[in-house]
Every structure is written in C-alpha cells, then in structure tokens.
C-alpha cells in the first residue's frame, strides 16, 4: 500500500469526498475512490467516512492506495469465432460476457488475451489494447473489428471517429419504439451514477430505429446508431418506450423476471465500411446468438 496525505485548503471546493479526491488526484476516477472508501482505505481526520461525506477546509485526508503491478496482457488459449480475416484486419463474433481488453477487475480472460494466442505482432495505441479499434460492452454480443498493423489501426480508428463506418444492432425489446429516430445529448444520470441519461449538458447522440417484427407487446428492433456514446442504444430505446429485454439498468425488472432473462438482448449485427487498404466496400455480419434466437422464437417474433 502507498499512503497519501491530503489537506483541504481554503480555496478548495466544499464537496463530497469522492469529488474532492478526483479533483486532487485526476489520474483516477470517482469510481476508483468510491471503491477505496468501500474498502475502508480512506480516513478523514483519523476517522472512517462514508462516500457522501463532505470535505471542508482544514480536513486531513489519508489514503491507502494499492500498488498494482503493470497490467500487461498475456496470451490465453481462448477460442474465437472468426467472421472475416485478411492481411489487414480480423472480424470476430464476440460472445456475451466477454470483456474486450484488460482493465481493473478484468485483468485476463479477455478478447485481447485470446488474440495474443492466435496472432503475433498485433499493433495498437498501447500494449493493453493491441489491435482493438472500437469496443463492445461486456454484455453486448456481436461483430468486433481488430487491426493487424498500426497503419490499419490508425485508418479504422479514424473511420470510426469520423462516422464513416455504418453500424447496425438488433435488440429484443419490451414494447414498440414510439419514434423512428431519437436525438439528444447523453450524460451521466444525476440520480444514479451507474446510468446514463438524456440530459441538457451531455454529448450529442443520434439513433434510428426500425421495427422488424412485433407481437403482443414485444418487438425485434434494428438500431442504426449515428454516434457512439456510452450506453447510447440502451438509453435511446428506454426513451423510445421500448427498453431492451434483460437490461439490468434500463430494462423492466418485473418483465425480465417473468421471461427469465438475466442479460441484455442486444447484438452488434452488421458493419459496413471501406477496406482501409483496398478501399473496397466490406459488409460483415454476425449471426444472432442462440439465446436471442430462442427468446425470439418464444415471443413469436419471426
């Protein structure tokens, strides 16, 4: 453990302790400091405090910060479903519950660990994410692009950033989207820090919806996101009165329990883009996972 002592000065803001620590130590997130507080590794004026404690000028804050070893991913023999591959890139069908790259809480058993076993010399922005040019949430299945060289990584990253890659998702939803398009800014939910929400001061976002099938209160929806904000599709479908089935944050718990669905029914189905080397148009698709096919059949959404 590394011990750190901070003293709140007169010109420091009077605020919650996690906000204060983020202000003083910006290399870490508020969630990181909240975890330290949960583990009783933070004392204020020699006493343990809760996450909502307010820091005032003159307070002495002592932290015990765990010293972590460098998170260098190692090769692991994990099977990958390859959808497409050439000398420039790989497209895989990521299964649900599969983290893309190592992070705090998930140091191994990730897509990157699997890639390092199957391929040598993948390049990227850093050693933690070799080849990774975009990401899918842990609980979202579907198509994931991986670059084999640095130049391809740079070109694909720019294509994603400049919205030159067309993306389509499929979701099983409760209800029927009331609109064909949602636009608005997305930011942190002021009432629940684990969630995102449509807010006045967030980042611009836009998604288009197309109902493929609908039956007795359930729908199969195709979503075309025009931006890539955190939790964007989940937030937009909730706002469109069609929350994703199984979604633990934005879904309806009672409906999820009735259907015995414990994870979100969201799948990255299609990517269309110009190949970074040949410039030919590539259209890649990932088939629906079996659990979504089974639920689709159960709900009679053909």
**CA–centroid distance for 44 within its chain:** 34
pLDDT band with cut points at 50, 70 and 90 for residue 158: very high
- Does pLDDT of 11 surpass 90? no
Mean pLDDT along residues 261-265:
94
Q: Which residues are catalytic?
A: 137
Nearest to 142 by CA among 259, 297, 292, 262: 292
Which pLDDT belongs to residue 190? 83
Query: For the segment 276-290, what is each residue's pLDDT rounded down to a tens digit?
Result: 999 999 999 999 999
Contact status, residue 245 vs residue 225, Cβ threshold 8 Å: no
Q: Any idea how long the chain is?
A: 302
Distance CA 207, CA 11 (A): 43
Q: Which whole-number Å values give the CA distances from 61 to 31, 39, 42, 81, 86, in the listed order?
A: 17, 15, 7, 49, 54
Distance CA 234, CA 218 (A): 16
pLDDT band with cut points at 50, 70 and 90 for residue 177: very high
Task: Pull the structure tokens for residue 243.
Answer: 């929350």
Check if CATH label 3.30.2350.10 holds for domain 167-271+280-298. Answer: yes
pTM: 0.78
- Sorted by sequence, the CB contacts under 8 Å of residue 132 that are 6+ apart come out as 100, 101, 111, 112, 124, 146, 147
Q: Provide the β-strand partners of residue 171.
A: 221, 266
Per mean pLDDT, which range of 64-68, 143-147, 258-262, 291-295 is the poorest?
64-68
Contact status, residue 94 vs residue 136, Cβ threshold 8 Å: yes
Distance CA 236, CA 107 (A): 31
Distance CA 143, CA 273 (A): 13
33 vs 78, more confident: 78
pLDDT band with cut points at 50, 70 and 90 for residue 31: confident
Sequence ranges of the domains in the chain: 2-65, 82-162, 167-271+280-298
Per DSSP, the residues of 203-266 read EEEEEEEEEEEEETTEEEEEEEESS--TTHHHHHHHHTT-PBTT-TTTS-HHHHHHHT--S--E
Query: For the segment 222-245, what is each residue's pLDDT rounded down to a tens digit?
Result: 999 999 998 999 999 999 999 999
Task: Pull the structure tokens for residue 225.
Answer: 């996101």
Mean pLDDT along residues 94-113:
86
Computed over every residue of the chain, the mean pLDDT equals: 91
Which pLDDT belongs to residue 13? 81
Nearest to 47 by CA among 62, 65, 64: 62
Nearest to 247 by CA among 264, 228, 222: 264
Distance CA 147, CA 233 (A): 25
Per DSSP, the residues of 34-69 read HHHHHTT-EEETTEE--TTPEE-TT-EEEEEE--PP
- Does pLDDT of 264 surpass 80? yes
Which pLDDT belongs to residue 104? 65
Asked, colleague to colleague, whether 82-162 and 167-271+280-298 share their fold, the answer is yes
Which pLDDT belongs to residue 173? 98
- Does pLDDT of 192 surpass 70? yes
Query: For the segment 198-230, what is each residue's pLDDT rounded down to a tens digit?
Result: 998 889 999 999 999 999 999 999 999 999 998
What CATH superfamily classification does 2-65 receive?
Answer: RNA-binding S4 domain (3.10.290.10)
CATH class, range 82-162: alpha beta
Per DSSP, the residues of 156-183 read HHHHHHTT-SEEEEEEEEES--S-SEEE
190 in helix, strand or coil? coil
């Amino acid at each position: 453990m590394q011990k750190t002592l901070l003293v709140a000065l007169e010109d420091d803001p009077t605020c919650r302790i996690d906000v204060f620590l983020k202000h003083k130590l910006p290399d870490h997130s508020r969630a990181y400091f909240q975890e330290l507080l949960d583990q009783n590794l933070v004392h204020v004026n020699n006493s343990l405090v809760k996450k909502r404690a307010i820091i005032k000028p003159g307070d002495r804050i002592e932290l015990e910060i765990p010293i972590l070893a460098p998170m260098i991913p190692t090769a692991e023999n994990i099977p990958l479903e390859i959808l497409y591959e050439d000398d420039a890139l790989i497209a895989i069908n990521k299964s649900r519950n599969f983290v893309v790259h190592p992070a705090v809480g998930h140091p191994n058993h990730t897509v990157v660990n699997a890639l390092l076993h199957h391929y040598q010399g993948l390049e990227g922005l850093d050693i933690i994410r070799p080849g990774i040019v975009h990401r899918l949430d842990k609980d979202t299945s579907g198509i994931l692009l991986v670059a084999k060289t640095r130049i391809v990584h740079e070109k694909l990253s720019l294509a994603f950033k400049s919205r030159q890659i067309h993306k389509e998702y499929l979701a099983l939803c409760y209800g029927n989207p009331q609109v064909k398009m949602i636009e608005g800014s997305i930011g942190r939910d002021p009432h629940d820090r684990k969630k995102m929400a449509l807010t006045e001061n967030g980042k611009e976002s836009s998604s288009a919806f197309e109902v493929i099938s609908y039956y007795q209160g359930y729908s199969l929806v195709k979503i075309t996101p025009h931006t890539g904000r955190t939790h964007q599709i989940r937030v937009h479908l909730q706002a469109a009165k069609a929350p994703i089935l199984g979604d633990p944050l934005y879904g309806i718990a009672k409906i999820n329990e009735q259907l015995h669905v414990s994870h979100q029914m969201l799948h990255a189905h299609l990517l269309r883009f110009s190949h970074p080397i040949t410039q030919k148009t590539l259209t890649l698709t990932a088939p629906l996972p079996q659990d979504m096919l089974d639920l689709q059949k159960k709900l009679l959404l053909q």
